[in-house]
Amino acid sequence: MNVLVTGGAGYIGSHTVVELINAGHNAIIVDDLSNAKADVVDRIQTITGTRPVFYELDCKNIDGLRSVFSAHKIDAIIHFAAFKAVGESVKKPLQYYRNNLDSTFALLEVMEEFGCKKFIFSSSATVYGPNNPHPYKEEMPAIQSSSPYGWTKVMIERILTDYVTAHPDFCAVLLRYFNPIGAHESGLLGDDPNGIPNNLMPYIGRVAAGQLEKLTIFGGDYPTPDGTCQRDYLHVVDLAVGHLKALEFAKDREGAEAINLGTGNGISVLELVNAFNKANDMDLPYVIGPRRDGDLPAFWADAEKAKNLLGWEATHTVEDMCRSAWQFAKNAGK
């Protein structure tokens, strides 16, 4: 299949492009490089032996998307491109709504023009909001969130579901995933955001590499065993494989389907820091800071639906995630 991957030079997108190529698909990347680096395309080529087609393009640009669709017969979309920092979204809601919603509208409009009917959406566990109990199950109401970032995911899921109702031959797979960390085993791909990282593991990596002084853990007084937030951390390669499975699932199906991608285990921030220390023989400096806007105390997945429908389940351990993340972080920027 010819698969258009928006945000394909980013963290999850680049790992997914590797899995697509290794599975024999043709990957066409659209990325505006606002939170990614152009040399990721070179690294993908080094890993796979195949260079994906790359367009430096904001996917809100409808005319630019039309040019891409005209140049390639696109069979399916995997839509990663979005602003994604929970805390930042609380401070900059208008930017998040404009960017995340407009990019989806543009894609759907161009897909309709060119007859493309398969859409794999990068949703999030944040759609379950603050009131559902964990573990989160797909049948729970996913119509709330604790941040503007999460609300964009809620809204896009609604848009896609309504679009499917109006176009019954369309297939949208809504992948609600949890907290990806880790890196490719080659050490060539990983989470390397521009500027100061908003996510935990790349921040840990930069502290470990001596680029940042210490880690600040946001909140130590949550109602959890050690007072720090609990999350469902999964290896980014497992997550990438989940997108490949979703693409195979969508190939001969119609309608909208929401599916969790997670391990089903809750791990606290302090537990993750200690696992990183143990896996890499370190002693990272950290302090406990105030809570961060938009964070929930604890959540993790019920991952049975992904196992039953997609034949997918996470295979990497927390130690695998921590070792691979450090392997990438110590080489990043060299």
* Span 101-124, pLDDT tens digits: 999 999 999 999 999 999 999 999
For residue 165, tell me if it sits in a domain.
yes
Question: In degrees to the nearest 10, what's the CA dihedral of 237, 81, 331, 201?
Answer: -70
For residue 11, tell me if it sits in a domain.
yes
For residue 282, tell me if it sits in a domain.
no
**Overall domain count for the chain:** 1
For residue 273, tell me if it sits in a domain.
no
For residue 202, tell me if it sits in a domain.
no
For residue 26, tell me if it sits in a domain.
yes
Cβ neighbour number for residue 60 with a 10 Å cutoff: 19
Q: What share of the chain is helix, strand, coil (3-state, %, to 5)?
A: 40, 20, 40
Give residue 162's pLDDT.
Answer: 98
* Average pLDDT of the segment spanning 199-220: 95
Spot the catalytic one: 55, 128, 136, 149.
Answer: 149
Tokens 């369309």 belong to 170
Tell me: pLDDT of 143 over 90. Answer: no
| SS3 call for 186 | coil
Tell me: pLDDT of 333 over 60. Answer: no
Give the contacts of 152 (CB within 8 A, at least 6 positions apart).
Answer: 82, 89, 96, 97, 100, 101
- Among residues 94, 119, 95, 93, the alpha carbon closest in space to that of 106 is found at 119
pLDDT one-digit tens code per residue, 212-267: 999 999 999 999 999 999 999 999 999 999 999 999 999 999 999 999 999 999 99
The residues that bridge with 53 in the sheet, in sequence order, are: 28
In whole angstroms, what separates CA 53 from the centre of its chain?
21
The residues that bridge with 303 in the sheet, in sequence order, are: none
Amino acid at 268: S
Quick one: DSSP state of residue 25?
A: P
Tell me: pLDDT of 198 over 90. Answer: no
> Any catalytic annotation for residue 222?
no
Q: What is the pTM of this model?
A: 0.96
| Distance (Å, whole) CA 205 – CA 211 | 9
Tell me: pLDDT of 334 over 80. Answer: no
For residue 126, tell me if it sits in a domain.
yes
Question: How many degrees, rounded to 5, is the angle at CA 292 between CA 123 and CA 219?
Answer: 120
Domain, as residue range, for 57: 2-181+233-264+300-316
* Average pLDDT of the segment spanning 196-209: 92
For residue 94, tell me if it sits in a domain.
yes
Query: In residues, how long is the chain?
Result: 334
CATH number of the domain where residue 165 is located? 3.40.50.720
Q: How confident is the model at residue 295 (pLDDT cuts 50, 70, 90)?
A: confident
Whether 243 and 19 have beta carbons less than 8 Å apart is answered as yes
